[in-house]
Amino acid sequence: MDRFVRAAERPPAFRPDRRDLFLRDVMASFLPRSPVAPTVPETPGHPRNTPWNAHFVGLPLPPATGQCGRTVRDRRPGREKMGSSDARPPRAARRAGGPGPDDVRHPLADDLFRLAHHHLIGRPLLHPRATAYGLASALLAELLYTGRITVHHGDVYVLSTEPPADGLTHTVLDQLTAERGAHPVGTWLAYLAGSVVERVAGRLHQAGHVRRETSRLRVPRTVTWVPVEPTTAGWPSARLAMALRGGRRLDPADQGLAALTWATGLDRHVLDGAPARARDNLRALVDHGWPPMAELARLTHAAIGRSVTTYRT
């Protein structure tokens, strides 16, 4: 009997209605954030919104919702899912036409390596960082021309994960794909620049175009990649110089190569002694060329300027 009396005197279980839940959420918004609770990054249009139960229980946060109940995606580098709208370029960039794989007869990085080194003795013609950033950009350009990536508004987007036939560009594409989502061109240039000179030189060495020579008189020892055939090594420079001096039309691959010579400062060597109209023709290629390649060249030029300035200071 006492058990029934105590049960009758027990207050009924509290069942909050909508008004109670609303007041609880409003009060929770003024409470301090728990220091151990995981946070959701703040992104434009999606402010931080911590659910009320994260302050009272030690459970992981569910996906945060922003305005109109939309789910806030974690946009930290490497967190976007492939195929999501965050990892794709705008539709206009995906539909933009351009040259195809058949338009590239010579690997851009190989030709830029030849341009950046003396065609007889292999001596570098540029600042080491300018050479590294230029070759990194040339590898991105090789993927750009084969339709694997695109460049839009300063970011690199992967369009296709189909592996290229070349082993070096295959490795670069794997690195781009592993870091899911779009990342700035400058970030990729700085990352690839660390080993790109040796990797491109290794590709040329494997093809029999250069040989490795190590200087024993300097400390530390320096490595020089000497061309095996000077005529082949000097052909990219001669090809661009003749076309730009004579106002001839360049094929799509050479247009990209010419844009990278401007970006790296190699135009001073290629157009040494050329009339002013040759430099005007080169600048026109950068200003009015294929938009993704022209943007890549301009971003490379800016990244080299920042890198060299930082190195000197």
Question: pLDDT digit string (tens) for 97-108?
Answer: 566 655 567 799
What span, in angstroms and rounded, lies between the C-alpha atoms of 252 and 136?
Answer: 19
Residues 6+ apart with CB under 8 A from 298: 263, 286
Asked if 74 and 41 touch (Cβ cutoff 8 Å), the reply is: yes
* Amino acid letter for position 278: A
Give the torsion sign (CA, 104, 108, 111, 115). Answer: positive
**CATH number at 90-312:** 1.10.3630.10
Examine the pLDDT at 50 and tell me if it is beyond 50.
no
Banded model confidence at residue 308, pLDDT cuts 50, 70, 90: confident
Residues 6+ apart with CB under 8 A from 65: 49, 71, 72
Q: What is the DSSP letter of 67?
A: G
Asked if 40 and 64 touch (Cβ cutoff 8 Å), the reply is: yes
What's this model's pTM, rounded to 2 decimal places?
0.70
Residues 6+ apart with CB under 8 A from 135: 109, 112, 113, 116, 193, 196, 197, 200
- Per DSSP, what are the bridge partners of residue 224? 213
Q: What is the DSSP string of 151-207?
A: EETTEEEE---PPPSSHHHHHHHHHHHHS-S-EEHHHHHHHHTTTHHHHHHHHHHHT
Among 47-56, 70-79, 301-310, the range of highest mean pLDDT: 301-310
Instruction: Enter the tokens of residue 197.
Output: 């000179």
Question: Which range (103-107, 138-142, 199-203, 274-278) has the least confidence?
Answer: 103-107
Examine the pLDDT at 113 and tell me if it is beyond 60.
yes
- First-to-last alpha carbon distance for the chain, in angstroms, is 89
Q: What is the DSSP letter of 237?
A: H
Residue with tokens 């799509």: 252
Asked if 290 and 260 touch (Cβ cutoff 8 Å), the reply is: no
Q: Which tens digit of pLDDT belongs to each residue from 187-236?
A: 999 999 999 999 999 999 999 999 999 887 766 778 999 999 999 999 99
**Would you state the pLDDT for residue 312?**
54
Banded model confidence at residue 48, pLDDT cuts 50, 70, 90: very low
Choose among 182, 190, 229: nearest CA to 207.
Answer: 229
- How many residues are there in the chain? 313
Examine the pLDDT at 74 and tell me if it is beyond 60.
no
Q: How many CA atoms lie within 13 A of 242 on its CB side?
A: 6
**Would you state the pLDDT for residue 290?**
93
What span, in angstroms and rounded, lies between the C-alpha atoms of 106 and 260?
Answer: 15
**Would you state the pLDDT for residue 146?**
93
Examine the pLDDT at 34 and tell me if it is beyond 60.
no
Asked if 116 and 266 touch (Cβ cutoff 8 Å), the reply is: yes
List the domain boundaries for the chain: 16-69, 90-312
